[in-house]
Amino acid sequence: MARTLKTLILVIFLNVALFSKPNLANAGECAQTCVTVTREGGELVITARRDPVKRKPVASASPSSSPSPSPTHAPFTTTQKSVSKRKAKSRPSLSDQIREVLPSVSFSILPRSGALIWEPLLIHQAGCAPVRKTLPILDTSITLDLQPTIQWSWGDGSSEVWSSGRARGAHIYHRPGRYLIDMRCAWEGRYRTPISGWMEIPPGIISSSRQSVELFRARVFFTE
List of domains in the chain? 103-216 (2.60.40.10)
Q: Taking a C-beta distance cutoff of 8 angstroms, is the pair 135, 191 a contact?
A: no
pLDDT surpassing 90 at residue 68: no
Q: Taking a C-beta distance cutoff of 8 angstroms, is the pair 50, 33 a contact?
A: yes
pLDDT tens digits along 101-130: 888 899 999 999 999 999 999 999 999 999
Query: Is the preceding omega at residue 111 within 30 degrees of 0, hence cis?
Result: yes
**pLDDT greater at residue 78 or residue 183:** 183
Confidence (pLDDT) at 19: 38
Confidence (pLDDT) at 98: 87
Query: What are the phi and psi torsion angles at 10 (to 5°)?
Result: -65, -40
Q: Is 20 exposed, middle or buried (0-12, 13-18, 19+ CB in 10 A)?
A: exposed
Query: What are the phi and psi torsion angles at 60 (to 5°)?
Result: -75, 145
pTM of the model: 0.61
Lowest mean pLDDT among 17-31, 41-55, 161-175, 186-200: 17-31
* Measured distance CA(202)–CA(197) in Å, rounded: 16
